[in-house]
Structure 1
Amino acid sequence: MNNTGCAVPGTALKNTGFHYTLSIIGGKYKMTIMYLLAEHKVLRHNELHRHIGTISFKTLSVMLKELMADGIIERREYPQIPPKVEYSLTGRGQSLLPILNMMCDWGKKNQDPVI
């Protein structure tokens, strides 16, 4: 990286945009949740759990709460019985999609070919 990019010599990591972005989307499941919501537009808790597979219900709930607190996803609750709750990306969350797309592009170019 160069001086005009993200890594500026002499700047503490905690004071960079990189650190802030990573604090929002870092972790084992947050980008996966964002990817799934970008793909499906709207998903319920159990649908997210089913798509991810390896996440506990509690961890999924924590990740969703953190993403909501950061304004990345929104939760819409419908007053019905049984209760219906849906999650989707906010405008702020959608603004992160170019980063996910660049990661996908990088992965396509750099992953080992299937043998």
Structure 2
Amino acid sequence: MIKHKPTAFLNGKKGLTLLEILISTAVLIAAAVVLADTMSLLLKQQVNAEKAAYAVFLVQEKGEELKTVPWGNLVSQPEAEVPGCPEFSCSVEVRSLNSYTTRIISYSEVK
């Protein structure tokens, strides 16, 4: 018959004390809280990054649209909702720097 040899961890005891179980449970709960908080922060950052990337896409799309307009017809546009994207607004600012240069600035913002 094989005899049970106690390990160094248990120091000859056959089980864990209530205090050891409570401490290990507290450590696990603390780690879970930290991980949950980190995941929440990462999810918020991901949503913000996706919105920023979509805003850049909308600005590029507006730039392509403005390329088709003749130079003489370019005018500033006030802030307005982007069609199909109610959470974004867009405005266009046209500035003539001199007779040869026109600066066009397009903004896209999240409401």
TM-score normalised per structure 1 = 0.26
User: Which one has a bigger Cα radius of gyration?
Assistant: 2
Greater strand fraction, Structure 1 or Structure 2? 2
Higher relative contact order (CA 8 A, sep 6+): 1
Greater helix fraction, Structure 1 or Structure 2? 1
TM-score normalised per structure 2 = 0.26
